[in-house]
Amino acid sequence: MDRKPVVTRNHPVLTQLEPRSPLSVGNGQFAFSADYTGLQTFPDAYEIPLGTQSNWGWHYTGGHQVFGDQDITYQAFETYGRKVLYPMKPEDKEEAYHWLRQNPHRLQLGRISFRLLREDGEAAGVADAVPVRQEMNLWTGVLHSEFTVQGAEVRVETACDPQRDCIAIRVHSGLIREGRLQLFLVFPSPDMTHRSWSKSVFPDWKQDSRHHTELTEVSTASASLKRKLDEDEYVVKWIWDAGRLEQTGPHEFTLLPEVVQDTGCWSCSVAFAAREAEPQPAEAVLRTSSQHWEEFWNNGAAMDLSGSTDPRAAELERRVVLSQFLCAVHSGGSMPPQETGYMYNSWFGKMHLEMHWWHAAHFPLWDRAGLLRRSMDWYLTILPEARELARSQGYAGARWPKMVGYNGRQTPSPVAPGLIWQQPHPMALAEMCYLARPERSVLEHYKDIVFAAADFMVSYAHWDGDREAYVLGPPLIPAQENHAMNESLNPPYELEYWKFGLEIAMQWAERLDQPANPAWTKVASQMARPRQENGVYLAHENCPGTFTGKNHDHPSMLGALGLLPGSLIDKEIMRNTLLKVKECWDWESAWGWDFPMCAMTAARLGEPELAVDFLLMDATKNTYLPNGHNYQRPGLWAYLPGNGGLLTAVAMMAAGWGGGEERENPGFPQDGSWSVEWEGLKPLL
């Protein structure tokens, strides 16, 4: 397959200001989002923050030990004859509760902007700087921006070093020689200022006394800066062709470029690091970026939909191509990402581990398992925390938390501590890593994650003697989060996932020639079957109003056959359930990953037309912006679980799934309207 035309015909090209669609460059560990000037010159013109974020940049307000778990109130939930404690409500410990929710939070590392001058010497505003054309070259990873300032042309190239957290900027403009183009770097306050993350998405530029910026070294071609924020620090190094740096504010530094040769071209690089920043010259970054992204596109899987006659095919191909790029930039790092990646902070910049599968399961399916393995290793680092969480609740093994910072510590929340569907995720993802590279070394590397997760799962499941089966909950909150903790019993998706995860653990023990925990087999073979009523599955056993009062948020019962093989599921009942969901669900309340989830269920049921309809449903939260991000609502303009879910569903619809029928493109209609050419895709488990 000639891949380059598939990629290049889907480059985002903007010819006007798109306030919800800044474009990003990044490397999986770090990313920089730019406005139409190629930098972050006019942030107020955008609805969405223009972020500069990393995996290592975190901050604790006031210090690392202001509050601890001992400072909050836990609520006791009746759990089959004993009390289990969960931090769900602040009660009389609001300050500690909200501090722990907000800390650590991910840092906005700094803003890199042009200061453009009009002919009269005044600073140019949005009305003076007119966008002409901006193109994200996906094949090279270079962002090309063209605009004019009172008719004078400015051309900018922006790229990210594939190996370093470094931005390269190359500018072509006569404004440089005229002294009318400057660059400045400015740093915001590190604190989260609201208890609600959605009110804290924009950086705070007013609290100058809450942080310190020191210029530690400066010359005619470079400068080094040290940032101090309570007990946290990081450094920045800026190198340039020629110019003069001035400090123009407590946390602002302005660079006045000088043209050395009569080319009208000037370049610089800015590197951020926890300890030692090592920027490379812009020319080197632009070159290595091009090499990196060409290898990315040539070495993974690929799909071409251009031969399709279905009018939706071009849009689906656009989403597929852009989602590959965005997930590599924002979700391909050494930790599970936050739901907005490095765009800006959602939920205080913390990771949601129940979303890790949605962010990353597609990587091995698109023959890029190495990008998944980067974040899988993080579970090994937090395994002691997960073991302690399980022990504190009276369970064996390791319980993975839901909402966490880099350290893996559970965050208090009205919902997060009650979720359980993140528990088998690392097991399924580890199995994908093994299938991508079926070597004993992979089993040895991740076995502690798989086995400790399984030990918790059998400890958590409760034997119901009356029905002679193992049940889940209460207390728990299903993936559909609008259910009460103390009422939820046996949600279908969680039941199926419990069985599936334990069977993975059993397989791994067999592959390693180790004895499996007998309880894994016992619980897996006797899980309760999901409840159905009037021929459809319920959200959980105690929810007769599933399709009336609870027909909003995630229709997660569908995940039991779609994401998963559905060994506990009756296909005809699930078909009825899927059709019922399509008919009566409040789709404005659904989330971006719900649409690919429904598509996967339809595919496994042999309903390819329905799979495509779900995947491309006209719904607000199934919107994909010009930059490729999955829009949800104001405040959540980027939602990477939607992008990742789309890639997983499309791979499955093309390459199939374990135990599925052996035919080409089983999840796409076979009436000739879809021409789906692909190479390198792997089937879903």
User: 101-131 pLDDT, tens per residue?
Assistant: 999 999 999 999 999 999 999 999 999 999 9
Q: Which residues contact 425 (CB under 8 A, 6 or more apart)?
A: 353, 354, 356, 357, 400
> What single string gives the DSSP state of each residue in 277-343?
--PPPHHHHHHHHHHHHHHHHHHS-EEE-TT--STTHHHHHHHHHHHHHHHHHHS-SSSPPPTTTTS
- How large is the average pLDDT for residues 208-230? 97
The CA-based diameter of the chain, rounded to the nearest angstrom, is 87
Query: Please, which residues bridge with residue 145 across strands?
Result: 134, 156
CA–CA gap between residue 203 and residue 200 (Å, rounded): 7
Phi, psi of 159 (to 5 degrees): -145, 160
Tokens of 546: 């599933």
Within 10 angstroms of residue 524's Cβ, the number of other Cβ atoms is: 23
Please, where are the H alpha helices in 409-484? 425-436, 440-460
DSSP string, 20-35: T--EEEE-SSEEEEE-
Q: Does the structure show a pLDDT above 80 at 261?
A: no
Whether residue 283 is predicted with pLDDT greater than 80 in this model: the reply is yes
**Would you give the DSSP letter of residue 208?**
G
Question: Which residue carries 């930098």 as its tokens?
Answer: 39
Amino acid at 144: H
Closest CA to 7 of 593, 611, 628: 628
CB 11 within 8 A of CB 141: no
Model pLDDT for residues 616-662, shown as the tens digit of each residue: 999 999 999 999 999 999 999 999 999 999 999 999 999 999 887 77
The radius of gyration computed from the CA coordinates of the chain, to the nearest angstrom, equals 26
Instruction: Match 């991508």 to its residue by tokens.
Output: 436
Percent of the chain past pLDDT 70, that is, above it, reads 99
pLDDT tens figures, 609-629: 999 999 999 999 999 999 999
Average pLDDT rounded to a whole number, residues 354-376: 98
Whether the bond into 131 is cis, omega within 30 of 0 = no
88 with 416: CB under 8 angstroms? no
Give the total residue count for the chain: 685
**Rounded distance between C-alpha atoms, residue 288 and residue 281, angstroms:** 11
Instruction: Please state the pTM of the whole predicted model.
Output: 0.97
Q: What pLDDT band is residue 409 in, cutting at 50, 70 and 90?
A: very high
pLDDT band at 427 (very low <50, low <70, confident <90, very high): very high
In order of 82, 86, 476, 574, 598, the CA distances from 78 in angstroms are 6, 11, 11, 32, 34
- What sign results for the dihedral spanned by CA atoms 40, 43, 48, 54? positive
Write down the residue that tokens 């991910």 correspond to.
Answer: 106
| Nearest by Cα to 400 from 354, 444, 346 | 354
User: What is the torsional sign of CA 339, 230, 385, 89?
Assistant: negative
Residue 350 near residue 333, CB atoms below 8 Å = no
pLDDT mean over 566-588: 98
For 552-575, b/e burial (b = at least 16 CB within 10 A) is ebbbbbbbbbbbbbbebbbeebbb
Q: pLDDT tier at 663 (50, 70, 90 boundaries)?
A: confident
pLDDT for 199: 80
* Residue among 248, 246, 211, 203 nearest 227 (CA): 211
